[in-house]
Amino acid sequence: MSARFNSFNSLAAATALALAGVSGSAFAADRVDLSSLNADSGDRFGRFLVKYRSGSAPRGDVASFNKAIGSAASATSSRLGGGKRAVQLKRLRRTASGADVVLTSRALSRDEAAALMRQLAADPAVESVSNDIRMVPYFTPNDTNFSQQFGFGTGNGGIRATTAWDVTKGEGTVVAVIDTGVVSHSDLNGNVIAGYDFISGDPAGEGLPAGGFFVANDGDGRDANPADPGNGVDAGQCGANGQARNSNWHGTHVAGTVAAVTNNAKGVAGTAHAAKLVPVRVLGRCGGYGSDISDAIIWASGGSVPGAPANPNPADVINMSLGGGAPSACPQIYKDALVDAAARGTIVVVAAGNSNANALTAVDGTGQPVGYTLTNCGTVISVGSVTSSGARSSFSNYGAGVDIAAPGSGILSTTNNGTRGPTTETYLSYDGTSMAAPHVAGVAALVQSVAPTPLTQEQMRTLLKNTARAFPVSPGTKPIGAGIVNAAAAVAAVQGGSNPGAQTYSNGTDANIPDNNATGVSTSIAVSGRTGNAPSNAQVSVSIVHTYQGDLIVDLIAPDGTVYNLHSRTGAGADNINQTYTVNLSSEALNGTWQLRAADRDAQDTGRIDSWSITF
């Protein structure tokens, strides 16, 4: 191959407005496949397929090929007037089908790529021109029970992890699970690295059975073995009114949701299954102590704890699916530990609690205390629970302290068959915000694995809330955060992707439209927690019950007062308006109060705004 064949040929970059300069008679439309630009998921292009006709000089001769693409580059430059950064073309190789792969020296915009393709196709010797479409593998785990894990998919209650996995699986990240420890499980062990047991000896005077290590249940105090020996108890062993219960292998279940070994033709998948797990044991029989838990937070995040060795694998993310106790405010010992962890860059995710109560005030419907949760501590991401339908789980705590929601009802994960000590491994479905939180912890690990710079706690909270998917079933007066965590949108956003995913905001409150009244009636939707402007293709869906469309003027009013007319006295005597309008709102900020106004401008017929929504 001659050196000349490898040389670059210059092209002045195209602009969309200049495309009109390429005459339609200059090429056959069926020779250029512009739809191939739409088939690529990106918006930058630098690799094209150019096939010259059999028998043509460029098909058989290197010099002729270089001359042909050079002429196309020069012609495009001339037609578009120049003034743009030059782009050079280079032939990479010929495919088995006879098309040549042509590379550009810089990425082209969609319009620039279209201009180049059109000019190449203007040569009668060209048989076809197309974008060399970039394919990516579609990752679907072959784990035998994956079909039962609705939480990872694209259904109403799913977190869209299956889409995120085509970008990242959490490589290079570490998630600490501060819980009951973990029990050996073949679908988990491969991702578990060194952890620690922070359960101390039993304090005197609490009525626990004699022995000194009843809570720990492993015969000793703090050590480097975070294995879960089980936490089952008999009635009365955890206080006079304590009920008997079997071991629940809670930490193992939580850990599996975060990072079970995946695509191994068995069991279940994990949210960030290329991440590594650091098990940190703080809960035993009858629970665990704040002093142990706070030390565990500091150690897991890479801090120093007296008497414990340094953590060789500081966590990028900590999951704590625990709570309970008497105070309604965050104990200072937790506050200090959480601030310490945040200062080291560790993201802390917590369960909102399972009392069907306000997660901040932690009281039930009668005002009785039901125990506090770590939501009160502020410097955490608090997670509520949804079902497979996307509705709030009946047990989930709620309120202003809850940041986001994730699947927490019927969650299948790794566990054990033992009722007291461990026996054989198995998989079980559990309910609880304890199951929701590790979905979010896993998503946080996915995000950190691709973030150009690791996000802080507050940056992560903001990102997850801004990219959350709207609830398909409104939680009503028991809010559980900004929406359902959306792994795909969060990963795309932190990579600088275009749109992190549209969200829908609705108002279903009826509003009567006064008859023959120019002022009309308005209902509003408040949008918060978003960044930037609305798109050029926002969708406004309107449902108005009225017996004469021709009476009505319907407007969308932006937060800055700009009016966008949707309907203006058309439709004559037809009943009702049930329509979705596409509106260019690109000059409007997303956040603020949006209004739908309907005015009846003639007498007799009446009606109401039944509902409306805006999606952007």
What topology is assigned to 150-205+250-494 in CATH?
Rossmann fold (3.40.50)
- d(C-alpha 39, C-alpha 50), whole Å: 17
Q: Which of 260-264, 303-307, 504-508, 532-536 has the lowest mean pLDDT?
A: 532-536
Alpha-helix runs per DSSP H in 481-582: 487-494
What mean pLDDT do residues 298-319 have?
96
- d(C-alpha 591, C-alpha 472), whole Å: 21
List active site positions. Answer: 179, 250, 434
What mean pLDDT do residues 501-512 have?
82
What mean pLDDT do residues 21-41 have?
57
Give the pLDDT score at 11. Answer: 34
Q: Which residue has the tokens 């939680």?
A: 475
The one-letter amino acid code at 176 reads A
- Of the chain, the percentage scoring pLDDT greater than 70 comes to 83
> What is the tens place of the pLDDT at every residue in 146-184?
788 889 888 889 999 998 998 999 999 999 999 999 999
- d(C-alpha 2, C-alpha 26), whole Å: 31
8 Å CB contact between 502 and 488 = no
Q: Is the pLDDT of residue 141 over 90?
A: no
Q: Look at residues 324, 343, 315, 432 and name the one whose alpha carbon lies nearest to residue 383.
A: 432
Domain segments of the chain as ranges: 3-131, 150-205+250-494, 504-615
Q: Could you say which of 3.30.460.20, 2.60.40.1930, 3.30.2350.10, 2.60.120.260 is the CATH number of the domain covering 504-615?
A: 2.60.120.260
More confident residue, 530 or 51: 51
Burial of 113 (0-12, 13-18, 19+ CB in 10 A): buried
What stretches of 502-546 adopt beta strand conformation (E)?
Answer: 504-507, 511-513, 517-527, 538-546
Angle at 417 between CA 413 and CA 421, to 5 degrees: 115
SS3 category, 71: helix
- d(C-alpha 101, C-alpha 131), whole Å: 10
Alpha-helix runs per DSSP H in 56-160: 57-60, 62-80, 110-121
Q: Look at residues 137, 132, 135 and name the one whose alpha carbon lies nearest to residue 46.
A: 132
8 Å CB contact between 258 and 176 = no
- d(C-alpha 324, C-alpha 345), whole Å: 26
Give the pLDDT score at 137. Answer: 33
Count of CB atoms within 10 A of residue 120's CB? 26
Average pLDDT score over the chain: 83
Q: Look at residues 472, 481, 468, 466 and name the one whose alpha carbon lies nearest to residue 388.
A: 472
What mean pLDDT do residues 547-564 have?
90
- Of the chain, the percentage scoring pLDDT greater than 90 comes to 44
Q: Give the model's confidence band at 16: pLDDT under 50 very low, under 70 low, under 90 confident, else very high.
A: very low
Q: Is the pLDDT of residue 62 over 90?
A: no
- d(C-alpha 563, C-alpha 577), whole Å: 19
> What is the tens place of the pLDDT at every residue in 84-130?
566 778 786 686 677 787 877 666 777 778 888 888 898 899 998 88
Q: Look at residues 183, 217, 224 and name the one whose alpha carbon lies nearest to residue 288.
A: 217
